[in-house]
Amino acid sequence: MLFAWIIATRWNFYSLVDIAWAYGIGLIALIYGSIGEGALSRRGLLAVLAVLWSVRLGTHLLLRLKEDFPKEDRRYTKIKNSWGTSAKKNFFWFFQLQAVSQPILCIPLALAAVSASPLNVFDFLAVVICLIGVVGESTSDSQLKRFRADPKNSGQVCNVGFWRFSRHPNYFFEWIIWCGFACLGLSSSWGLISVFSPILMFFLLNFVTGIPPAEAQSLLSKGELYRQYQSQTSRFFLWFSKGVKA
């Protein structure tokens, strides 16, 4: 994250933090899978699942931001403007805060890497849950990208596919993935600590870095259309909207 901050300051492009964070989780998983003293099968499993998620999300963000470069993500434009001349210094600490969050969120992977027990039902559940999350998140991202690419949808609110049942299906499936990672850690004697990771991720997505800034920007750019979408559509979990019959 320090290296990412150095590059970000040279390019004046602090949106890089999201890409570095996603790829960094995959790197941590590879390290845990390599040096852990637990069952080799579980260490391989945690590395594969976490790297699959990391590469998918990191590359999605990389390609999206590459299209907009050097224009910042709107969230970081707002932060940069509010910090003014202190932006460079404050972003240093912001990047380091992201660095601290990585090993904390990866506690389930660390526990899985030291668990000597053979693969069990928790590991099977982890595979199923993580795959559901990865497929759901990538599908949500693709649906939003296709919607935005259609000129007819300019200024409109995306309410197709998963976006018809949740205002933030990408964040919901992101959280699902972390629930899957937590299942990997349950085989450890300290496994219950793993549930802290999806709880923290749920808090961050719903109240800090995810939904609040995204909705604030949507209200600013789409106004009453987005307010109507809010009144009809579930905030986070997938559920039938008021305009959709079950």
pLDDT, tens only, 94-133: 999 999 999 999 999 999 999 999 999 999 999 999 999 9
Q: What's the pLDDT at 78?
A: 87
The half-sphere exposure of 127 on its side-chain side, counting CA atoms within 13 A, is: 10
Spans of all domains in the chain: 2-232
243 pLDDT more than 70: no
Instruction: Supply 6's token pair.
Output: 């150095």
Residue 244 confidence (pLDDT) above 50:
no
State the Cα–Cα distance between residues 29 and 54, nearest whole angstrom: 9
Element (H, E) at 103: helix 87-105
The counts of H helices and E strands in the chain are 11, 0
* Band of residue 44 on the pLDDT scale cut at 50, 70, 90: very high
Enumerate residues 6+ apart whose C-beta is below 8 A from 243: 232
Share above pLDDT 90 across residues of the chain, in percent, rounded to a whole number:
88
The mean pLDDT value of the chain amounts to 94
Is it the case that residue 245 has pLDDT exceeding 80?
no
* Cα-based angle 106, 109, 110 (whole degrees, multiple of 5): 90
Q: What's the pLDDT band for 68 if we cut at 50, 70, 90?
A: confident
Q: What is the pLDDT of residue 114?
A: 96
| pLDDT tens-digit map of 170-201 | 999 999 999 999 999 999 989 999 999 999 99
Tell whether pTM > 0.95. no
